[in-house]
Amino acid sequence: MTLLELTHPHRLALFLDFDGTLVEIAEKPDAVRLAETTRVTLARLQRTLDGALAIITGREIEVIDAMLSPFRCPVAGVHGLTRRDAVGRAHATAVDTAFLDQAERRLEQLARPEAGLLVERKSHAIAIHYRGRPDLEHACIEAMEAIAQLDDRVRLVRGKMVVEARPSGGDKGTAVAEFMTEAPFAGRRPLFVGDDVTDEDAFEVVNRLGGLTLKIGPGKTHAQHRVADTAAFLAWLDDIADTLEKGRTIG
Binding site for Mg ion (CB under 5 A): 17, 19-20, 195-196
Nearest distance from C-beta of residue 4 to Mg ion, angstroms: 18
Write down how long the chain is: 251
DSSP H or E segment with residue 37? helix 36-48
State which residue has the least CB distance to Mg ion: 20
**Pick the catalytic residue: 17, 195, 199, 201?**
17
Across the chain, the runs of DSSP E, i.e. the strands, are 12-16, 53-56, 75-77, 82-84, 90-92, 118-121, 126-129, 154-159, 162-167, 189-194, 212-216, 225-227
CB of 59 or CB of 84, closer to Mg ion:
59
- Give the CA-trace dihedral at 16, 21, 25, 30, to 10 degrees: -30
**From CA 12, how far away is CA 190, in angstroms rounded?**
6
Instruction: Please compute Rg for the chain using Cα positions.
Output: 18
Nearest distance from C-beta of residue 194 to Mg ion, angstroms: 6
Among 15, 22, 6, 73, smallest CA distance to 244 is for: 6
CB of 120 or CB of 195, closer to Mg ion:
195
Is 196 a catalytic site residue? no
Nearest distance from C-beta of residue 134 to Mg ion, angstroms: 18
CB of 183 or CB of 197, closer to Mg ion:
197
CB of 104 or CB of 171, closer to Mg ion:
171
**From CA 34, how far away is CA 90, in angstroms rounded?**
24
Nearest distance from C-beta of residue 196 to Mg ion, angstroms: 4
Nearest distance from C-beta of residue 56 to Mg ion, angstroms: 9
CB of 104 or CB of 200, closer to Mg ion:
200
**From CA 251, how far away is CA 249, in angstroms rounded?**
6
Assign 3-class secondary structure to 132-190.
CCHHHHHHHHHHHHHHHCCCCCEEEEEECCEEEEEECCCCHHHHHHHHCCCCCCCCCEE
Residues with catalytic roles = 17
